[in-house]
């Protein structure tokens, strides 16, 4: 269901339990939440509901747990086609990097994305977005990076914005022009980075299509020097940066992102202690992507103990993309964060709420429930918040309130 068909959430949500932020110590049992004009006007124990609100319409939450809307802070949701054949090739022994170097991988999705028109990209991305929304996602980051020309990157970012408007979900766009070298620039990576910095970014930023800037800093992506040029260009446009860093090897990308006060460094399977220390110092969020780790059958774990020791905030995300993480379940990523990365339940809860919001530069708007904020929350038919990380392949979300509108899951499935 799209935004304007959905009923208003205004009124008193009662007969619920509340987890206003990821800390289970702050839960409120037998709670109520008052929504007025699409914003949270009051929350607390139902027994303390102020008299002024008692005559408002009531929404019976039927014993559900209410959490902040979930935040998926790293996705490549808008692209053409899929890469199941490449998955099959990898099962027969081909490596991800090998396929990329042979002109497959990201570049094959670039071909499909360039060929698709906006309506097709919208329809394909909407089909991936809807299951995420049904799991309580109310804010999502969407990257470009499968166009690699000004026109095709613009097309991806425009579709991302259209999805936000149509579904009433908060979309944060990231320009990832430096995702891969397009075939027409083979052997001329520095010339392509010129195009990214001097043509694409200025035009897309002027069109208000860019909220942040990212790059793929890797042997099969771009070097530290090239990434630095992208970050310099972002800084000239007043845009925050983030980075695909240390996924397949350690090039020092996380420390570079930290030097630019990056919102986040993402993947991080090969991150070393110097990178962790730099991130801690800069307040850069570590975005961990267990879906890509799982789907590539990676064996290098991100350095969880060091990230904890240095107090680096950790987020969890789907990294939805056709090559390394074709998942549409953020709940499954929470479960994998626990099982594969040995994260705790409070860590993965923070990882999809407060810390994920921070990775978007939107900690003031998303990730926790507080008076004055937009009514963005999810209702869960669970006995405790641990159930959000416990099930895999089952969605206990009963309803979602996004931008002050109610979306019941029965309506959508």
Binding site residues, ligand NIG, CB under 6 A: 105-106, 109, 216, 244, 247, 292, 319, 321-324
Tell the smallest beta-carbon distance from residue 395 to Fe ion (Å). 23
- Out of Fe ion, ligand NIG, none, which partner does residue 323 contact, by CB within 5 to 8 A per kind? ligand NIG
Closest CA to 385 of 1, 16, 103: 16
Half-sphere exposure of 300 (CA within 13 A, CB side): 12
* Closer residue to ligand NIG (CB): 319 or 376: 319
Residue 224: CB minimum distance to ligand NIG, A: 16
Shortest Cβ contact with ligand NIG: which residue? 323
**Helix (H) or strand (E) run with residue 176 in it:** strand 170-178
3-state secondary structure of 34: strand
Residue 305 is inside which H or E element, if any? helix 304-309
Q: In the complex with ligand NIG, which residue's Cβ is closer, 249 or 384?
A: 249
DSSP bridge pairs for 175:
213
**E strand or H helix at 158:** helix 150-167
b (16+ CB within 10 A) / e for 210-244: bbbbbbbbbebbbbeebbbbbbebbeeeebbbbbb
Least Cβ distance, residue 159 to Fe ion (angstroms): 17
Residues in a beta bridge with 409 = none
Residue 247 or 250 having the CB closest to ligand NIG: 247
Compute the least distance from the CB of residue 9 to Fe ion, in Å.
32
Judged by CB, which is closer to ligand NIG: 173, or 321? 321
CB of 177 to ligand NIG, least distance (A): 13
Which does residue 270 bind out of ligand NIG, Fe ion, none, counting CB within 5 to 8 angstroms by kind?
none
Instruction: Tell me: does residue 211 bind Fe ion (CB under 5 A).
Output: no
Would you count residue 319 as binding Fe ion (CB under 5 A)?
yes
Chain residues in the site for Fe ion (CB under 5 A): 319
């Amino acid at each position: 269901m799209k935004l304007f068909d959905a009923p208003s959430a205004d009124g008193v949500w009662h007969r619920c339990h509340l987890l206003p932020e990821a800390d289970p110590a702050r839960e409120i049992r037998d709670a109520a939440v008052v929504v007025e004009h699409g914003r949270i006007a009051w929350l607390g124990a139902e027994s303390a509901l102020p008299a002024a609100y008692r005559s408002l319409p009531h929404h019976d939450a039927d014993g559900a747990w209410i959490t902040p809307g979930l935040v998926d802070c790293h996705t490549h949701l808008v692209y053409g086609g899929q890469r199941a054949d490449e998955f099959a090739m990898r099962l027969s022994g081909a490596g991800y990097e090998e396929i990329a170097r042979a002109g497959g991988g990201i570049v094959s999705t670039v071909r499909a994305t360039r060929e698709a028109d906006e309506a097709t990209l919208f329809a394909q991305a909407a089909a991936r977005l809807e299951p995420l929304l049904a799991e309580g996602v109310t804010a999502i980051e969407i990257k470009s990076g499968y166009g690699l020309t000004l026109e095709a990157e613009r097309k991806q970012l425009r579709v991302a914005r259209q999805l936000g408007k149509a579904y009433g979900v908060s979309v944060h766009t990231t320009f990832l022009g430096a995702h891969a070298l397009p075939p027409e620039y083979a052997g001329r990576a520095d010339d392509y980075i010129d195009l990214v910095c001097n043509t694409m970014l200025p035009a897309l930023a002027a069109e208000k299509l860019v909220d942040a800037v990212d790059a793929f800093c890797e042997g099969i992506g771009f070097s530290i020097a090239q990434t630095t040029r992208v970050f310099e260009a972002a800084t000239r446009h007043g845009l925050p940066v983030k980075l695909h860093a240390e996924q397949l090897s350690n090039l020092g990308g996380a420390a570079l992102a930290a030097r630019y006060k990056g919102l986040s460094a993402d993947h991080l399977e090969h991150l070393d202690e110097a990178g962790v220390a730099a991130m801690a110092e800069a307040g850069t969020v570590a975005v961990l992507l267990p879906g890509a780790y799982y789907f590539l059958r990676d064996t290098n774990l991100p350095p969880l103990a060091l990230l904890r020791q240095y107090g680096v905030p950790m987020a969890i995300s789907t990294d939805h993309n056709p090559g390394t993480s074709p998942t549409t379940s953020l709940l499954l990523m929470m479960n994998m964060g626990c099982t594969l990365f040995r994260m705790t339940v409070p860590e993965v809860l923070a990882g999809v709420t407060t810390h994920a919001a921070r990775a978007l530069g939107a900690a003031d708007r998303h990730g926790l429930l507080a008076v004055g904020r937009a009514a963005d929350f999810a209702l869960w038919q669970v006995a405790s918040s641990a159930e959000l990380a416990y099930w895999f392949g089952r969605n206990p979300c009963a309803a979602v309130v996004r931008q002050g509108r109610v979306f019941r899951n029965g309506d959508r499935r």
